[in-house]
A and B are shown apart, each in its own frame.
Chain A
Amino acid sequence: MSAPKEAWSSRLGVILAVAGSAVGLGNFLRFPGLAAQYGGGAFMIAYAVSFLIIGLPIGWAEWAMGRYAGQLGYNSCPGAFASITRSRWAKYAGIIGVMVPVMIYMYYVVIESWCLGYAINFWRGELAPTAAAASGDIFQTFTGSGADGSALAISWKTALPWLVGVFVFNFWLIYRGLSKGIEKMCNLGMPLLIVLAIILLVRVLTLGAPDPARPNDTVVAGLGYLWNPTKINVAPTDPMSDVKPYEVVGAGGLAEAKETVAASDGKLELQEIGVITQLRNPKLWLSAASQIFFSLSVGFGVIIVYSSYMRKDDDVVLSGLTASSANEFCEVGLGGLISVPAAVAFLGVASVAGQGTFGLGFNVLPLVFAKMPAGAFFGGAFFFMLFLAAVTSSISMLQPGIAFLEEAMSIGRKMSVTVLGLLTCIGSGFVMYFSKDLKALDTIDFWVGTFLIFVLATIQIIIFGWVWGIDKGFSELNQGAAIRVPQFFRFIMKWVCPAFLLTVFAMWFLNSIFGFDLITFKWGAVAGYVTDLRSNLAAQLSVAFILIVATFFFLITARSHAYQRAEKGLPKHD
């Protein structure tokens, strides 16, 4: 009887490992922030479409291309692209697959340190805000978002000591090759994280209206804000007015809004914004797609590296699907249902959209824990589990850079880790110093975490469907698989996916960068990320830093002998 028991525990262990590697900060912090920013229901539609026509297909393409390149001995994105396409340009395109994970690591590790700092401060009993303003103050002090350099103080409640600790811990793990240990910790930690998230979810859904002075700000209103496809806004009748429109949710909120409009002497009106109108916003589509990329690690250059270490008959189809579905379960089923409804209940609908991508979880969850029995313990445990999830994700972001340096420079792992450690130390220090309004973090997240991911994903699916060919790609993908990828994905991967990416990208570029209104066909204001490049030092230096890293990787790639062999389709070693 013991043999079947062992087999079942081993299989469960595999599922936990797959789920553990898939879950990260994106599920519990980034996704709720974006869903709140774009107002829910319409975002969820764009998100579901993005998952089906770009997340799954590009993920599968990465798994298949990585495994193929690994058979030839290439474990980096430039090597994989060059060996598959047998062309010189592809190795340079592959640099993006090194830049994305390495540069995201630079700010991801900062957020990881916030998680650890929050966990310890919860356990010390020093993090129990009772009002939204207090929670916001704690976050501002901790992250230094009030002024550049203000997070560099040594204190329990500033990020610097935690960042130093987390940074050293990550590199110590990979330098010493101790990642097996952290994997085992995560196999235990991930089920705990999910259990804690379910407890938190139950607490949030039973909050009702936590502030008696604001009876309309309820959890149900929060769920409505997240999932309702049609939005009702209170907006000024004069489009030139300085009054900002705000959304109302629920019968109580609507009745209150009607009174406000009636008392405004015609200066305000109720506007109903349908789901089609919302879906015409290219930024919504780009954000939904970028979240899919971010949380599934698709278009990151990470999967292609790790799948290169797989055997030829390993199952990439079910591996990819299990990882993606575990990730989506945590993101949509848990992450989304916790933070946004809680934020609306505590802060009100009007305040939620302004929390920023990562701010929602750090500003709102402490308020929820403060209202729970043993909240300090659960709060600490939750943020510590997030920290563990972040450790696995951040270490996985370093491997593409390590493999690239090993392969391109023909150096050993320890030297490669040292070089990458210096580079990322500079980057994380830069993000930490330019902390006012989290400008450096935000700028790198935009240009690398959104823009470059989009570019890389487009290149990957074009290589898979057009350069490699959909027949060869599908044949490689289905090799060793327990389930066959449905045939309609051939059409999706060859036509729909690239067309979708290019269309959304073009719309977003016109609208978000150059301010072209796609509904009225008029040119408007240029995006803040572009105007910042003229006026904001932190944004200018952030983009300059991205270009310096790109140049560094370009020079290494250009001189690599390994990639010269890859261009000819030759194995790395004879």
Chain B
Amino acid sequence: MTTAGILIMICSVGTVTSLFSWCIYKVLTTPRETDKIHAVDLHTPDMDLPD
């Protein structure tokens, strides 16, 4: 493995790990963010409608 390869690996893995960690920090420390942040919620409102 070359030095350039090691650098690219460290930068890539370090960047994605830092970004994810920052997002976790931001969600955990921002007031009321839990109510406003969403995943792809599989339970959609149309499931609760009568057919």
Contacts and interface: CB of A to CB of B under 8 A. Distances in A.
Max chain A CB contacts within 10 Å: which of B13, B15, B24, B36?
A: B36
A87 interface: no
A395 B42 contact: yes
A337 B17 CA distance: 13
Nearest to B47: A177
A332 B47 contact: no
Interface of B: 1-2, 4-6, 8-9, 12-13, 15-17, 19-20, 22-24, 26-28, 30, 33-34, 36-51
A396 B40 CA distance: 7
A229 interface: yes
A5 interface: no
A314 interface: yes
Contacts of B39: 14, 17-18, 20-22, 319, 323
Contacts of B34: 7, 10-11, 14
A177 B16 CA distance: 35
B13 A337 contact: yes
A71 interface: no
B4 A309 contact: no
Given A15-B27, A40-B5, A482-B30, 6 more contacts: A179-B47, A226-B9, A227-B9, A230-B2, A318-B27, A396-B40
Given A322-B23, A326-B23, A413-B49, A303 B1 contact: no
Contacts of B1: 220-221, 223-224, 227-228, 249-250
Contacts of A333: 13, 16-17
Interface residues of A, number: 71
A483 B16 CA distance: 18
Interface of A: 7-8, 10-12, 14-15, 17-18, 20-22, 40-41, 44-45, 48, 75, 177, 179-180, 182-183, 220-221, 223-224, 226-230, 249-250, 297, 302-303, 306-307, 309-310, 313-315, 318-319, 321-323, 325-326, 328-329, 331-333, 337, 392, 395-396, 399, 402-403, 406, 412-415, 480, 482-483
A227 B5 contact: yes
SS class, residues of chain B in contact with chain A: helix
A188 to B, nearest CB: 15
Nearest to B15: A48
Contacts of A227: 1, 5-6, 8-9, 12
A227 B3 CA distance: 10
B40 A315 contact: no
B4 A329 contact: no
Main SS at interface, chain A: helix
Given A15-B24, A44-B12, A315-B33, A415 B51 contact: yes
Nearest first, the 4 A-B pairs at minimum CB distance are A412-B51, A224-B1, A179-B42, A228-B5
B13 A332 contact: yes
B42 to A, nearest CB: 4
A75 B33 CA distance: 24
Contacts of A230: 2, 4
A560 B51 CA distance: 19
Given A177-B47, A228-B1, A14 B27 contact: yes
30 contacts: A11-B33, A21-B39, A21-B40, A21-B42, A44-B12, A48-B12, A177-B47, A177-B48, A183-B43, A223-B5, A223-B9, A224-B1, A227-B1, A227-B6, A228-B4, A230-B2, A306-B40, A307-B38, A309-B44, A310-B38, A314-B36, A318-B36, A322-B27, A322-B37, A326-B20, A331-B16, A392-B42, A395-B42, A399-B42, A413-B46
A10 B51 CA distance: 33
Contact of B16 (A17, A75, A325, A413): A325
Contacts of B22: 325
B41 A309 contact: yes
Contact of B47 (A310, A318, A413): A413
A415 to B, nearest CB: 7
Contact of A319 (B13, B38, B45): B38
A325 B22 CA distance: 9
Contact of A306 (B6, B28, B41): B41
A180 B43 CA distance: 6
A183 B27 contact: no
Given A306-B40, A314-B36, A333-B13, A41 B23 contact: no
B9 A318 contact: no
Contacts of A318: 23, 26-27, 30, 33, 36-37
Contact of A11 (B28, B38, B48): B28
Contacts of B49: 412-413
Contacts of A41: 4-5, 8
A336 B46 CA distance: 38
Contacts of B33: 11, 315, 318, 482
Contacts of B23: 318, 321-322, 325-326
